[in-house]
Structure 1
Amino acid sequence: MSQQSNEALRLKGRVRIGVPGTYPSPVAHAIRMLARDLEAVLGAEPELVAEEEAAELRIRLAAEEDRCPERPEAFGFRSHMAGGRPRMDIVGRDELGLVYGILEFSRLHLGIQPFWFWADQSIAERPEIVIPPQDYDAPAPKVRYRGWFVNDEVCLIGWKEPYPPSREVWEPVFEALLRCGGNMVIPGTDLPRDGIHYKLAAEMGLWVTHHHAEPLGAEMFLRAYPGRTASYQEAPELFEALWQEAIEEQKDMKVLWVLSFRGQGDKPFWIDDPAFDTSEKRGAMISRVIRKQYDMIASAVRNPVYCAALYGEIAELYKGGYVDLPEDVIKVWADNGYGRMVSRRHGNQNFRVPALPAADDGGKHGLYYHVTFHDLQASNHLTMFPGPASFLKREIESAFEAGADEYLLLNCGNIRPHVYTLDVLRELWNAGTIDVNGHLGQFVRDYYSSHHDELAALYQSYAEAALPYGPHEDDLAGDEYYHHPARKIIGHWLQGKGDEPHPRLAWAVGDVPFEEQVKGFEARLEQGMGRWKAWLERCSEVLAQLGPDERRRAADQLMFHGALHLSGCEGFYWLCRSYREYRRERCPQAFVFASESMWAYQKGLDVLRDAEHGKWDRFYRADWLTNIESTVQNVDTLRRFLRMHGDSPDFFLWYKEYLMPVTEKYIYLENTHRNPLSDDELAGRLKEYFQQEGML
C-alpha cells in the first residue's frame, strides 16, 4: 500500500518505469518516446519493468482512489512513497489520457518541447532530474476535437524517396501533434490508399477525419469510375457503393465522419451538373446526399461522430437556409485562407461574408483554419503566417465566443515552416485563450538559451514587415504573392497580350490596363523591399550574437522566412521595372532588369538549399506549389526573349554598341569576334555601363 509522498523524486542514470502487462499501441508509442527522451536527458536507456515491481515512474490507468477527472483523455500525476522511496504515477482515464500524461511529463520535467524535432531543439544532458512531490490533474482542453490537416504537403512528399511517404516521415508529424494535445488528423491530401498514413495515425491513437472534397474518406468517383459522368442524380448507386466501402474500411477506427457533397476536383458539383441552376435545387441535393451518408454510417457504426464542412458554396447555401443538416452533426466553419473568419476569395470575387454561426444557430460548431494556404495568389506556403499572433488570438477567441469550439482543424502544411504559429494555436485549443506576449516569451525560452528579448522582438516585427497588398488587415503577402502573379505577367507579356488587362490579376491590382496592373505591383513591392531589408538587418544583428547551433536554428526558423520574402519582393520588383523599360522600347535596359529579377529569385532557391542540412537534406526539393525554380526559369526565358530584341541574330550588337572600346568599335574585323557573352556576363557589364552613364 503506497502513501502520499512528501519527498522529492530524483531521477538519474537508468530509470525504472513500471508498465502494465499489456497496453494498447498508442501507449506503446508514447512509452517509446518517453524512453528516448529519458535517454537523451539522463544518458541512459530506462528499464521497463512490470507495474507491481519497484520503479521510480509508473504508468497506469486511473483507479477510483486517484480521483482523476471523469472525462475522455483526462490525465494526472500522483506522488507516492513506495517501499520507503518516492515514486510518481502517470495516470490516465483512457489510452489517450495516458499518452498525453506521458508526453506532458516529458515536457514539464525533461524539457522536451512539442516541436523538438521540427525546430531542432538542443537537448542537453543532465546528471539528475528533481521533481517536487505534487499531485496534478490536467485541465480539460477548450476544444473537444483538435488536430491538423496535413495539406499541400509537397515537402513531406519530396523529402524522402518512398512514395507515398513512409513511417519515417509520418511518425514525427503525429508525435508533434500528440505533444500539442491534438487528437485528430487528416494525414495528407489525396495520397495513394495503400500508404501507411491512415493506419499509423490510428495506431498512434489519433482520430482520423477527411477532406471536405472526399466525404467519408471515400475514393473519388472519377478515379473509381473513369469516363463516367460524376452525377449523383444519374448514378446514386455508384456513389453509395464507394461510401459503403469507406464505411467498412473505417468502422472499427476512431473516425470523425465528414459528410459533404462537392464536385470532383474540389469544386461545386453543379459545374459538372448544370441542371442544378438554383440555390433551392443545389441545397436540396446537398441535404439529400448528407442525410443518405448519415444514415449509412448510423447503420454500421456505434456512436458515430459526424461533421459537415461549411466550406465555400455550402456555407453560403447553409446561411441562406437551403441546406438542412441533422441536429447532431458538428458544423465546421472555415476562414478565408488568410486567417479571417469570412468567405474565401474566388478568383477576383471577394465577398467576405462572415463565416461563423449565428446566435440562434443551435447544435455544435467547429472551425477549419489555415496557418498556411495554397491559392496561386498571395498565400503563405513556404513562409510563416504573415499576420501577428494578436490577430490569431482575436479570430479564434471570437469564434469560440460564437460557439465554434467543439472542433478545430488546422491546415498545418509541411510543419517545419509553421512551428511558431502552430504553437500559438496549440495554446488556444488547449486553454481557450492566450497571452500573446507571455506565450512568445516562453516559446523563445523553450527553444533558445539566450537573447530571448531580441528573438521575441524579431517574431513580433516579422508581422510588421509583412507587405500589405489590399485594404483588409489580413491582406498580407505570403510567398506565393511574389511568384504566381509574376509568372502570369511573364506569360501575358510574352504571348503579346500587353494591350489588354490580365483578368486573373484584377484581385490584386484592379481591372485596369495591363501596364497599370504591372505598375500597381511595382509600387507595392518597392515598399516591401524596404521593410524586409530592414527586418533582415535586425535579424542578422541578433543571429551574430548567438552560438553556432542556435544561430543555425534561428536561421532556419526566422531568417529563412524574411530572406524568401526579400528575394521574392526584389525579383518581382525588377520584373516590373523590366516591363516598364520594354514599353519604352529600351530592350537592353529591360534585359538588365530581367537579369536582376532572375538573380534575386535565384537567391530564394539558395535559401531553400541552405536550409537543407543534416536530417533536412532535400526537404524543399519538391517546392512545386510556390515553385521558386519555375519562376527563375520563367524569368530566364523572358531575358532570352528580350535579348532577341536588338541583339539578335549574332548576339554581339549590344556588346559592340555599349561595351566595345571606342578604339576597336570601328576597325575590328568581323571574323575575329565570334564568341558572344553569356546572358549573365552581358547583363552584369551592361548594368555597370548604364549606371556609369546614368541610363538606368
Structure 2
Amino acid sequence: MKTDNPYYEIDSSTVVNGPVALSKAVEHALHMFQRDMDKVFNKQKMKTDIKDEVSLIELHHDKQMCDEEAYIITVKEDGLRIIGSDDLGLIYGLLHISKTYLGIDPFWYWIDQRIKKRESVHIPLGEIRSPKRKVRFRGWFVNDEVCLIGWKEPYPPTKEVWHPVFEALLRSGGNMVIPGTDLPKEGIHFELASEMGLWITHHHAEPLGAEMFKRVYPDEQASYATNHLLYEQLWEEAIEKQKEKKVVWVLSFRGQGDTPFWTQDPTFDTPSKRGEMISRVIKKQLEMIQEHVDSPQCCVALYGEISELYRGGYIDLPQGVIKVWADNGYGKMVSRRNGNEDFRISSMPEGKEYGEQGIYYHVTFHDLQASNHLTMFPNEPTLIVQELEEVFATGGDDYLLVNSGNIRMHLYPLDIVSDMWNVGNVEVNEHLQRFVQRLYSSHHHEIAQLYKSYFQCSVPFGEHVDNRAGEQFYHHPARRIIGHWMQGKATQSIEALYWATGERSFDEQVCWFKERCQIGYRNWTVLNETSQVIFNELSHEDRTRFFDQFHIQVILHCSGNAGFIKLCEAYEFARKDEFPKAFVSASQAIWYYEEGVQALRQSEHGKWANFYKADWLTNVQWTIESLQSLRRYLRMHGDSPHFFNWYKEFMMPDSEKHIYLENTHRNPLSDDDLAKGLQEVFSM
C-alpha cells in the first residue's frame, strides 16, 4: 500500500503473488515463506487476487539476467518485487527477506527457535542485489545419517524428516545435495530435494546414482570386464530416471560396498591396469549421459585409491569434468588414513589451469577409529577456514560438498562452511559471536568462551595438528580392547590399533589409551563443570538449546574419557589377579558410559523423541554391552560358581561369616549391587 514512509511495510495482510505457472521449487519456497509470515504475524494468508489496499510482494523471472541464481529485490512505496534469474534466484530472494527482516534463522528448525512475534516489519526503500557466491556448486552430503533414519518409524525416511534438511541447506545458501547414503531408490529423498530446487549429485560408490550392482545382480560377478552390459544397463536406467532433473553427475568406478573394485576382481593387479579400467569406465559413463543430456554437469570424485592412481598418472579424465578432491576426514586436505597407513599425500586441488576443481569436505566423519559422529568437529575452526581458503586459492571453488551427517549436532561447523561457500572467508571469532547471539538470549561471551574451550579439550592422538579425537575414540578402540582381552589374546598386540599407539605390546597399548584419556578427562572435566554452571544460569528455553547443542557433547566426551580410563584400570587389576577390583573398575566404566546414554535420552524431548535411537555408528550402548560382558567374565574369576564368594569375603560382617545359614544368605547380588558394595569396601 502507498505510504509516505521511507520503507515498505509487510504484515499479516501482505500477499505474495508469484508467476502464473509456479514451478515446484518456487511453490515449496512460497510455502516456507508463508509459514515464516504466519509464525511472525500469527496469520497465514495467500491469495491470487490482488487488491489496492493489500500490501504486495511480487515474484518475477528474468532469464536475461547474467548470473545463475541471482535476484534483485526492488522496494518501492507501492510494493516489493523480487526478480530472479531462475528458480533458485527467486528462492534465495524470498529467504533473504525471511532471514533479514522476519528474523527466521537458517537453522530455526534444528535449534527450536522461538520466533519473535511482530505486528509488521519495515524494509527500507531501494534495491537489494544478490551477492556473488564464492562456490558454484555447494551443498551437503547427508552421509552416515543413521539418526535421521532411525528417528521416525517409516523407512526410508519421509518428507517429515527430509524437508527440514533441505530447507536448512537452502537457507544456508546451498544449492546441491546427496540426500542420504544407499537408501532405497523408492524413497522420497531424491525427488523432494529436486522439487525444492536443489541440484542432485551422487555418492562416489554409486556413480550416476545407479543401483549397486550386487543388489540387483547378487549372483553375478561384480566385474565390469565380465559384465559390462549389466553395469551399463544400470547406468542407463539411472540416466533415464534423472535426465530431466538438475544433476551434477558423478563419474566413478569403485567396488561394491565402497571399496576398490579390484577387491572383487583381483585380475587388476597393477596400477596401470586399474587406472586404465577406471578411465575407460568414466569415458563410457560420460558418453552415455551425453546421449540424453545437453552439456551435462559432471564430476569425478578423486577419493581414496582413485586419487592415488590419478596422482600417479594412471587415470585419464575427460575435459570439462570437475575434479573433486577430499580431506582426510579430520579437515586436513591430505589423503585419508587407510587402517594403519597414513601417507598424508596432499589432496589440494591442482589449479584452474587443469580444469574445474572442487572438494569433498568432512565436518563429521565415521572411520571406526577416532572420528566425530555424535559430536562436533574436534579440531579448531581455524583449521576449516585455513584449509578452505587454500582450496579456493588453488582453484577449488567450482564445487564444495560437505559431509553434514545428521545435521543437528554439527550446526556450528556447518554454519562456518556456509559462510565460506557464500563469501569465501570467515573471521572465526566474529562468526562465533554472531552464531552464539543467534542461539541464545544471554551469556553470549561466556558461551562463546565455552565453544572455544571445546576445541582445545579434544584429545590429541598423533603428531599432526588435525590428529584430534572425536567421541568414537572412546568406543571403537575400547571395544577392540575388550574383545581382544576376553578372547585370551593379551599376549598379542592389536595390530588394528597401531594407527594410534604404534607397534607395541597389548599391555603398552592399554597404557597408551589410558594416558591419552587421562589428559582428555582433566580438560573435559573442567569444561563440563564450567558448562554446568552456565547451564544453570540460563533461561529455560536457552537451557534446553544449550544442552542439545553443546552440553550434551561435553558429557559424551567427559564420560567417554572416564569410562575408557576405568576399562584400562580394570585390565591392570586383572593382570595382577585382583579380580574383585577389576570387576569394580569395569562396573565404574559402565556407569560412566551410561552418563552418555542418559544425555542422549535427555535431548530426545518433544519433536526430537527417538532422535538418537539409531546410534549405530558410535554406538555408546554397545560399548556398555561389551563392558557388561567383561564384567561377567571378571566375576567368573573368583566369585563363581556360587556368586557369593566376594560378598562373603569382603562385605559380610565378621559376626555373620561363621554362623550364617546357606538357605538365608545365598541370594547372589546383582552385578551393580555387588560392584557398589565392593567399591565402598575398596574405597574406589
Question: TM-score, normalised on structure 1?
Answer: 0.96
Task: Tell me how far 1:386 sits from its aligned partner.
Answer: 1.2
State how far apart, in whole Å, the 2-side matches of 1:346 and 1:637 are: 30
Provide the residue aligned with 1:93 in structure 2: 85
Give the 3 Å change call, closer, same or farther, for CA 488–37 of structure 1 in structure 2. same
- Give the one of 622, 626, 635 matched to 2:614: 622
Provide the residue aligned with 1:479 in structure 2: 471
Give the 3 Å change call, closer, same or farther, for CA 385–102 of structure 1 in structure 2. same
Provide the residue aligned with 1:252 in structure 2: 244
Superposed counterparts of 1:504-523, under 5 Å? 504-523=496-515
Question: Does the 8 Å CA contact 1:312/1:344 hold for their aligned counterparts?
Answer: yes
State how far apart, in whole Å, the 2-side matches of 1:406 and 1:6 are: 43
State how far apart, in whole Å, the 2-side matches of 1:79 and 1:315 are: 50
Provide the residue aligned with 2:265 in structure 1: 273
Provide the residue aligned with 2:74 in structure 1: 78
Question: Does the 8 Å CA contact 2:299/2:322 hold for their aligned counterparts?
Answer: yes
Task: Tell me how far 1:510 sits from its aligned partner.
Answer: 1.5
Provide the residue aligned with 1:12 in structure 2: 11
Question: Does the 8 Å CA contact 1:365/1:406 hold for their aligned counterparts?
Answer: yes
Superposed counterparts of 1:267-346, under 5 Å? 267-346=259-338
Give the 3 Å change call, closer, same or farther, for CA 57–580 of structure 1 in structure 2. farther
Deviations 1:220-271 (A, max 9, x none): 1111111111111111111111111111111111110000011111111111
Superposed counterparts of 1:681-696, under 5 Å? 681-691=673-683
**Amino acid corresponding to residue 292 of structure 2 in structure 1:** A
State how far apart, in whole Å, the 2-side matches of 1:558 and 1:57 are: 41
Paired residue secondary structure (2:225): coil
Paired residue secondary structure (1:440): helix
**Amino acid corresponding to residue 73 of structure 1 in structure 2:** E
Provide the residue aligned with 1:24 in structure 2: 23
Query: Are residue 436 (structure 1) and residue 428 (structure 2) matched?
Result: yes
State how far apart, in whole Å, the 2-side matches of 1:560 and 1:660 are: 40
Q: How many residues align?
A: 684
Point out the more displaced range, 201-210 or 359-368.
Answer: 359-368
State how far apart, in whole Å, the 2-side matches of 1:5 and 1:468 are: 62
Question: Does the 8 Å CA contact 2:14/2:57 hold for their aligned counterparts?
Answer: no
Provide the residue aligned with 2:175 in structure 1: 183
Deviations 1:599-621 (A, max 9, x none): 11111110110000000000000
Deviations 1:313-347 (A, max 9, x none): 00011011110101100000000011110000111
Paired residue secondary structure (1:343): coil
State how far apart, in whole Å, the 1-side matches of 2:343 and 2:129 are: 46
Give the 3 Å change call, closer, same or farther, for CA 319–444 of structure 1 in structure 2. same
**Amino acid corresponding to residue 66 of structure 2 in structure 1:** E
Provide the residue aligned with 2:33 in structure 1: 34
State how far apart, in whole Å, the 1-side matches of 2:582 and 2:56 are: 70
Provide the residue aligned with 1:128 in structure 2: 120
State how far apart, in whole Å, the 1-side matches of 2:87 and 2:568 are: 58
Provide the residue aligned with 1:544 in structure 2: 536
**Amino acid corresponding to residue 18 of structure 1 in structure 2:** N
Question: Does the 8 Å CA contact 1:18/1:53 hold for their aligned counterparts?
Answer: no
State how far apart, in whole Å, the 2-side matches of 1:247 and 1:359 are: 30
Provide the residue aligned with 1:391 in structure 2: 383
Task: Tell me how far 1:50 sits from its aligned partner.
Answer: 4.4
- Give the one of 560, 567, 590 matched to 1:568: 560
Provide the residue aligned with 2:457 in structure 1: 465
Query: Are residue 352 (structure 1) and residue 344 (structure 2) matched?
Result: yes
Provide the residue aligned with 1:363 in structure 2: 355
Give the 3 Å change call, closer, same or farther, for CA 34–113 of structure 1 in structure 2. same
**Amino acid corresponding to residue 550 of structure 2 in structure 1:** L
Task: Tell me how far 1:545 sits from its aligned partner.
Answer: 1.8
Question: Does the 8 Å CA contact 1:390/1:436 hold for their aligned counterparts?
Answer: yes
State how far apart, in whole Å, the 2-side matches of 1:54 and 1:419 are: 42
State how far apart, in whole Å, the 2-side matches of 1:485 and 1:456 are: 32
Query: Are residue 407 (structure 1) and residue 406 (structure 2) matched?
Result: no
Superposed counterparts of 1:103-182, under 5 Å? 103-182=95-174
Provide the residue aligned with 2:365 in structure 1: 373
**Amino acid corresponding to residue 72 of structure 2 in structure 1:** G
Q: For structure 2, which runs of at least 5 residues remain unmatched after alignment?
A: none
Give the 3 Å change call, closer, same or farther, for CA 136–56 of structure 1 in structure 2. same
Task: Tell me how far 1:679 sits from its aligned partner.
Answer: 0.7
Question: Does the 8 Å CA contact 1:335/1:343 hold for their aligned counterparts?
Answer: yes
State how far apart, in whole Å, the 1-side matches of 2:470 and 2:52 are: 56
Question: Does the 8 Å CA contact 2:536/2:543 hold for their aligned counterparts?
Answer: yes
Deviations 1:149-185 (A, max 9, x none): 1111111111111000001111001000100111111
Provide the residue aligned with 2:525 in structure 1: 533
Q: For structure 1, which runs of at least 5 residues remain unmatched after alignment?
A: none
**Amino acid corresponding to residue 293 of structure 2 in structure 1:** V
State how far apart, in whole Å, the 1-side matches of 2:251 and 2:71 are: 32
Q: Tell me how large the CA RMSD over aligned residues is.
A: 1.6
Deviations 1:513-557 (A, max 9, x none): 101100000001011111111111111122222110111100100
Deviations 1:5-44 (A, max 9, x none): 9721223333222222221011111111111111111112
Task: Tell me how far 1:377 sits from its aligned partner.
Answer: 0.6
State how far apart, in whole Å, the 1-side matches of 2:191 and 2:11 are: 36
**Amino acid corresponding to residue 232 of structure 1 in structure 2:** Y
Provide the residue aligned with 2:228 in structure 1: 236
